[in-house]
Structure 1
Amino acid sequence: MFNHAHGVQCQTGKMNTVVSFLRKNPLFSATGVVALVGAAFALSGANEIAQWLLSIFALIVAAKESVGMVRSIIKGHWGVDVLAVTAIIATVLVGEYWASIIIVLMFTGGEALEDYAERRAKQELTALLDKSPQIAHREVYSSAGAERGALFATEDCPVGDLNVGDVVVIKPGELIPVDGTLLSPEATLDESSLTGESIPVERVTGEALISGAVNGAAAIRMEVTARAEDSQYQRIVQLVTEASESKAPFIRMADRYAIPFTIAAYVLAITAWVLSGNPTRFAEVLVVATPCPLIIAAPVAFIAGMSRAARHGIIVKNGGTLEKLARIKTVAFDKTGTLTHGQPVLSSVVTAAGVDENELIRIAAIAEQYSAHTLAHSIVEGARSRNITIAPCENVKETTASGLTANIDGKTVVVGKYSFIAEHDSNAVRAEIAAGELAVYVAIDGKFAGALLLRDELRSDAPDTLQWLSALGIKHTLMLTGDGKVTAQHVADALGVTNVQAECLPLDKVRAVEAVTNRPVMMVGDGVNDAPVLAAADVGVAMGARGSTAASESADVVIMKDDLHRVARSIEIGQQTIRIATQSIWIGISLSLVLMVLATFGFIPAVVGAGFQEIIDVVTILNALRALGTSRLLARLHLSQPSLQPQKSLL
């Protein structure tokens, strides 16, 4: 019963999708209806009515398209519209009304497919705007509170009403509403959505706070230094919007072949008329010059390529993006969460004399299990991965931005920064850490016990992805990150990234992408901080499994699964799709030219020519559908990872 209901729901959903598609493309829908009605008349013996119905409808569509065609020609742009209108009129004049309605159906169908893909690419950035801080807790003088010794109270106000100099209270877990200066003694902030840095940062009185950062476990006070429209987070929203709107519309691939093909068709048709002295020969040539291969080949290949990409968890938002993917010359990556996991892991342990390694991990994990700090979570997970039992403890006291103390098995345990441990044992020793590592120190009963070393590990799929990109002809790679230079360079050297720019804020990343000379450039990232640069790049790729919806909305490609391999796969699919689309167009053009030459010398009557043209259409479409298949590049690379193994083609 459940399966039946589920099946009904799926069928209903598909039906609704089809109905919605037909409603949004009325001309395509009307063409289908007229074709069916015409077929009904023809089957009932009313061929003359069918001819008049189909011919008049075809001429109406031709007249409608002629308006847009003339406007485009006046602007200096020639497209497949010229061929379509010419072919429709020619087929009607020679009485090939079925050929004319097929041309109309394919032309309107191609437009409908393109419109559908474009609508998917123009979704509003609702997620980013919804997350943007709307309400702030502003301090105001309270006469009632003054009697009790509390001069100030808080009132909720729109963020846009905040002025420079206002004092704002930010509660635990809330976003910093505008840029400001910290008034509280200290604060722990998560700036990962802005800088990409996965480790929380500590701020003290007088230091700057960036809007969009997430406050830690304690309420803080800050003084406003910039109004909402001038603050970091709001500027990110504005950047995404502007970058998205500034992207030039992509010219349809088939339009590039329209002018030479149209000229060739007219030259041959006029030549046929002149040589034969019969205007019918002119129409016969134009019948086999119908632009269906041009109109439908590229959209079919692009939709097939987009379907293939979706099968691999890659959402490509439009056909224009596929063509750009095929020409990518530079790939830029965010570091944290893209090339690395974005979550520090326990990598090694340094112990003092007489201290067992697992015991040190156990003691630290027991204490840190009560902390909400990111590093605390990493230590606890590190203990669990080693099957270390984490028991409860007592008297846990956390000192913000320093560490915590706890009573464990009758001992006083201190876990935290080196300076915090040194307060309890002046003989504490700093651990030697490599680039990209950080240390959490431990003291037991006032004596230094050792340090736990954590690092944000490289993703296991990152090296293979860089190798795959190189095999696809991508020779320029760039890493943009908010991390420090030493850590960033360490990651780049490990992967063979050719260029690195560290300590980047969102604006810096946008400028870095704009400065790239080897274009088109692809940007791969996740998080709100990557939304502007994803929108500004020629092709923005959001790692959707980990990234924010805002980043996904501003990107051209969304990787739905947390697999970096799919970045390279998207480029491969783009290259193959464009190769197949171009090949399909040339097959159609070549066969049409052969038929036009034969028709020029009277070897192909109009009726036969229309039949041949439909065969060309079928051949062209079948070839375009090869874009659904899977390439064998991975087999040639001999990559051993299961996720990289070639899959069986659908064809």
Structure 2
Amino acid sequence: MIRRGRALPEGKPAAPPGTPVPPQAASPEEEPGQSLPGRASALIRQYPLVALTCLVLAVTGMLLQSGLEQPARLGASAYAAVVAVIRAAAMFRSLREGRWGIDVLALMAIASTVWVGEYLAALVVILMLSGGEALETFAQGRAARELESLLARAPRFAHREAAGSVLEETPVGEVVPGDVLVVRPSELVPVDGELLSDAASMDESSLTGESLPVERTRGELLLSGSVNGETAIRMRAAATARDSQYSRIIALVEEAASSRAPVVRLADRYAVPFTALAILMAGTAWALSGDPVRIAQVLVVATPCPLLIAAPVAFLAGTSQAAHRGIIIKNTGTLEQLAKARTAVFDKTGTLTSGRPVLDTVQVAQDQGPAAGAAMRAERILQLAASAEQYSSHVLAASVIEAAAQGNLELLPVTRATEHATQGVEAVCGGDTVVVGKAGLVRNASEGFLEAALHSGQLAIYVAVNGRYAGALIMKDPLRGDAGDTLARLHRLGVRHTMLLTGDAHGTAAHIAEEAGIRHVRADCLPEDKVNAVAAVKERPVIMVGDGVNDAPVLAAADVGIAMGAKGATAASESADVVIMLDDLSRVAVAVEIGKRTVAVALVSIWTGIGLSIGLMAVAMTGYIPAVTGALLQELVDLATILNGLRALRPVRRGKPTGRG
């Protein structure tokens, strides 16, 4: 007969009761099931200036086709003038704040084309200006706000004991210190508090990054946001929800995200010198010729279309290429930061390691004399342990069973099983009485017990058979197989400084860092410690790679936060700038390589456009290029920069990183 406290859940455990599903934000152009007219309407609402400019161009074209040149010129010029006034107001606000950008050159181009009567050129400049901004917005993917999933996942209700031990569901905000709460299996702990039950097995990986379960005993502190094991527990609230650990993490994310410095657009850096050069050349042409038309002729070919369109096209191509590789890059500024990255900081559990314990070795108890009999074979110990663990609710049981399956060991029939909560399981497997679990349980149930010799990062599961100690299963959370190659590739890409930040003990962290080739280690870190450590790094920009709720604040604080989102670490994914959708650490290096290639392509596009425009301005100074011809030639320059920007769509070559190093 099999005797157990409760049935084990099959398959993936259900989400904790009362935990809402994080909303999935979809951009208007990507809403599922939307009809084509509906998508068009959404795009018009999202990019009104682009839509209105296209409409004005179409109306202007129809008027010209009908021979109504005067209404076409007046209407287009009036529209361009209104846009110029609106842009001028925004430009002056930026100038007062000390930000010089591409708007100055765009405004001059619009004003000069209207002045000389080249209203079609003015409309083209407006279309390039609004279209470039729309491309940048589209490339960002309309990412949801960083805190949305954190707030959605936060505990909402608590089960509070009322008079007569009756449970009442209470909003978590109404819990006060001293309230006695019941946390059901697989539920989130709603507030920080003291454990009243004898023992509890808690999953604190989302808070500390530790993948192994944490055993708590009566009187110990439970942190809000940790997940209860397979047995209901009682606890006494020690803090309100606002003052508990989970809320402090949310506050850290808010503070870190708001303090992050904005990234200046790539094109803006070249706008000021290009504008100054254009004004100088136009003024020189006017002074030498005495003809004021020359200034308009020069400024027409000096329109900032290469700057307006080159970088957004390249960045859109780069983010598209990244998406094809399972890498979601949320904004164009991130590509620039990736291209310049100098330091990479890694979390341990679930990032550098797999996040799931696996069998390392089987330590077999040695023959202790004639009375003890011969030592049992390692395969037999693993087979018996896995057979017994079928009836354990402990999170390590699945790892033991998986190890037996990988060794092609058949599980034995079980005739009786008793689980000792958080301690282990006792079962009769194929005629042998087997005890599997912690040292205390196996020591009391066997003779000849011997503590296992463990190295950093290891954990022992002890096994006794028929009343004698048989050996121990040594588990570890191993380094990912691609970690070393990823770090070497990052080094070749120019990311020369690496650091490991983890909530684990120093011994475990140092062991993993040594295997991965990371020199700098910070262990025993709380979320606040990680944020401070990243802020203190001098070699910037800094990439932070992590997962889990505990990494959300430091991902938001880093110059580039990269979340390993394959395991559903939604809070980390929403706080990060880059989300890797596959369980593949090597994609971190791929993201950096795509960033370098995209910025290189964008710079070539910008310089190509600037070079061609300077050449055209030099010829226009002589008066040989009329304004209409100059506008047409400028469109060829635009086409050249767009085609070059699309080169970022080409996949990067594995093993041949772009950039120096």
Quick check: TM above 0.5?
A: yes
How far apart are 1:607 and its partner, in Å? 2.1
Gaps of 5+ in 2: 1-30, 366-373
Over 3 Å counting, the alpha-carbon distance change for 1:15 and 1:199 in structure 2 is: farther
Once the two structures are overlaid, the 10-residue window that deviates more, 488-497 or 40-49, is 40-49
**Equivalence for 1:619:** 640
**Equivalence for 1:649:** none
Is the Cα–Cα contact under 8 Å of residues 391 and 419 in structure 2 kept in the other structure?
no
The residue identity in structure 2 corresponding to 1:205 is R
2:46 pairs with 2, 24, 35, which one?
Answer: 24
**Equivalence for 1:341:** 354
How far apart are 1:560 and its partner, in Å? 1.0
**Equivalence for 2:14:** none
Is the Cα–Cα contact under 8 Å of residues 140 and 329 in structure 2 kept in the other structure?
no
Over 3 Å counting, the alpha-carbon distance change for 1:13 and 1:247 in structure 2 is: farther
**Equivalence for 1:590:** 611
Once the two structures are overlaid, the 10-residue window that deviates more, 426-435 or 80-89, is 426-435
How far apart are 1:468 and its partner, in Å? 0.7
Q: How does 1:600-619 map to 2 (within 5 A)?
A: 600-619=621-640
3-state secondary structure, aligned to 2:461 = strand
In 2, distance between residues paired with 1:102 and 1:335? 52
How far apart are 1:510 and its partner, in Å? 1.5
How far apart are 1:10 and its partner, in Å? 8.4
**Equivalence for 1:57:** 79
Over 3 Å counting, the alpha-carbon distance change for 1:607 and 1:321 in structure 2 is: same
Structure 1 residues 493-526: Cα deviation after superposition (integer angstroms, max 9, x where no partner): 0110121111222222112112212111111111
3-state secondary structure, aligned to 1:613 = helix
How far apart are 1:26 and its partner, in Å? 0.9
3-state secondary structure, aligned to 2:167 = strand
The residue identity in structure 1 corresponding to 2:246 is Y
**Equivalence for 2:232:** 219
1:473 pairs with 494, 516, 522, which one?
Answer: 494
Gaps of 5+ in 1: 1-8, 146-151, 638-651
Is the Cα–Cα contact under 8 Å of residues 513 and 521 in structure 2 kept in the other structure?
yes
In 2, distance between residues paired with 1:31 and 1:407? 79
3-state secondary structure, aligned to 2:410 = coil
3-state secondary structure, aligned to 2:355 = coil
The answer on 1:108 being equivalent to 2:130 is yes
**Equivalence for 1:123:** 145
Is the Cα–Cα contact under 8 Å of residues 121 and 556 in structure 1 kept in the other structure?
no
The answer on 1:249 being equivalent to 2:262 is yes
Q: How does 1:570-589 map to 2 (within 5 A)?
A: 570-589=591-610
Q: CA RMSD in A?
A: 1.9
| TM-score, reference length from structure 2 | 0.90
The answer on 1:90 being equivalent to 2:90 is no
How far apart are 1:11 and its partner, in Å? 9.3
1:447 pairs with 468, 473, 476, which one?
Answer: 468
3-state secondary structure, aligned to 2:349 = coil
Structure 1 residues 561-610: Cα deviation after superposition (integer angstroms, max 9, x where no partner): 11111111111111111121122111111221121122112232222222
Over 3 Å counting, the alpha-carbon distance change for 1:368 and 1:14 in structure 2 is: farther
**Equivalence for 1:310:** 323
3-state secondary structure, aligned to 1:259 = helix
In 2, distance between residues paired with 1:76 and 1:448? 75
In 2, distance between residues paired with 1:118 and 1:430? 55
**Equivalence for 1:191:** 204
How far apart are 1:40 and its partner, in Å? 2.1
Structure 1 residues 354-382: Cα deviation after superposition (integer angstroms, max 9, x where no partner): 31222211111111011121211100011
In 1, distance between residues paired with 2:39 and 2:262? 26
**Equivalence for 2:431:** 410
In 1, distance between residues paired with 2:96 and 2:423? 70
How far apart are 1:244 and its partner, in Å? 2.3
Structure 1 residues 182-207: Cα deviation after superposition (integer angstroms, max 9, x where no partner): 12221111111111111111111221
The residue identity in structure 1 corresponding to 2:262 is P
**Equivalence for 2:183:** 170
3-state secondary structure, aligned to 1:573 = helix
1:279 pairs with 292, 295, 305, which one?
Answer: 292
The residue identity in structure 2 corresponding to 1:545 is A
Is the Cα–Cα contact under 8 Å of residues 593 and 657 in structure 2 kept in the other structure?
no
In 1, distance between residues paired with 2:320 and 2:391? 47
Once the two structures are overlaid, the 10-residue window that deviates more, 377-386 or 354-363, is 354-363
In 1, distance between residues paired with 2:35 and 2:330? 21
Over 3 Å counting, the alpha-carbon distance change for 1:201 and 1:83 in structure 2 is: same
In 2, distance between residues paired with 1:404 and 1:118? 51
Once the two structures are overlaid, the 10-residue window that deviates more, 161-170 or 96-105, is 161-170
**Equivalence for 1:459:** 480
3-state secondary structure, aligned to 2:83 = helix
The answer on 1:232 being equivalent to 2:210 is no
In 2, distance between residues paired with 1:295 and 1:313? 28
In 2, distance between residues paired with 1:636 and 1:264? 35
Is the Cα–Cα contact under 8 Å of residues 482 and 504 in structure 1 kept in the other structure?
yes
3-state secondary structure, aligned to 2:567 = coil
1:288 pairs with 281, 287, 301, which one?
Answer: 301
**Equivalence for 1:374:** 395
Once the two structures are overlaid, the 10-residue window that deviates more, 68-77 or 496-505, is 68-77
How far apart are 1:558 and its partner, in Å? 0.6
Structure 1 residues 187-239: Cα deviation after superposition (integer angstroms, max 9, x where no partner): 11111111111111111122111111111122222222222111101111222
How far apart are 1:172 and its partner, in Å? 1.7
The residue identity in structure 1 corresponding to 2:85 is A
Is the Cα–Cα contact under 8 Å of residues 394 and 422 in structure 2 kept in the other structure?
no
Is the Cα–Cα contact under 8 Å of residues 211 and 232 in structure 1 kept in the other structure?
yes
**Equivalence for 1:555:** 576
In 1, distance between residues paired with 2:37 and 2:504? 49
In 2, distance between residues paired with 1:450 and 1:510? 42
**Equivalence for 2:19:** none
2:587 pairs with 559, 566, 581, which one?
Answer: 566
In 2, distance between residues paired with 1:123 and 1:16? 24
The residue identity in structure 2 corresponding to 1:363 is L
The residue identity in structure 1 corresponding to 2:148 is T
How far apart are 1:153 and its partner, in Å? 3.4
In 2, distance between residues paired with 1:409 and 1:398? 18
In 2, distance between residues paired with 1:415 and 1:316? 46
Aligned length: 620
Is the Cα–Cα contact under 8 Å of residues 84 and 107 in structure 1 kept in the other structure?
yes
Over 3 Å counting, the alpha-carbon distance change for 1:88 and 1:228 in structure 2 is: same
In 2, distance between residues paired with 1:137 and 1:247? 38
Over 3 Å counting, the alpha-carbon distance change for 1:17 and 1:518 in structure 2 is: farther
2:521 pairs with 487, 493, 500, which one?
Answer: 500
In 2, distance between residues paired with 1:248 and 1:39? 44
Once the two structures are overlaid, the 10-residue window that deviates more, 233-242 or 332-341, is 233-242
3-state secondary structure, aligned to 1:497 = coil
In 2, distance between residues paired with 1:322 and 1:574? 5
**Equivalence for 1:266:** 279
In 1, distance between residues paired with 2:213 and 2:293? 79
In 2, distance between residues paired with 1:528 and 1:254? 35
In 1, distance between residues paired with 2:62 and 2:534? 58
In 2, distance between residues paired with 1:388 and 1:308? 44
Once the two structures are overlaid, the 10-residue window that deviates more, 549-558 or 232-241, is 232-241
The residue identity in structure 2 corresponding to 1:222 is M
In 1, distance between residues paired with 2:209 and 2:488? 24
In 1, distance between residues paired with 2:40 and 2:468? 72
How far apart are 1:339 and its partner, in Å? 0.8
In 2, distance between residues paired with 1:47 and 1:604? 23
The residue identity in structure 2 corresponding to 1:627 is A
